[in-house]
Amino acid sequence: MSDKIAIRDAYGQALKALGGRNRKVVALEADVGGSTKSVLFGKEYPDRYFNVGISELNMVNMAAGLSLEGFIPM
């Protein structure tokens, strides 16, 4: 058996771990949380998880605004 895991699984796990280390980390996604595994972060930190639907431009604008307020959008 290999120790390798899918990149998306590693991303989801790392994002969740970062959220535990820093309350300024927020996650934004555009209806692909199941694929990117960012839902792991969302289940653990629902108040810092934003699913903007299929509106990527709005997600970029939200990330910019959150960043200006001191958050770390991922």
Shortest CA distance to 38 belongs to which of 5, 73, 65, 68? 73
**Residues noted as catalytic:** 56
The DSSP-derived string for 10-25 is: HHHHHHHHHHHH-TTE
Distances (CA, A) of 61 to 40, 68, 72: 23, 11, 13
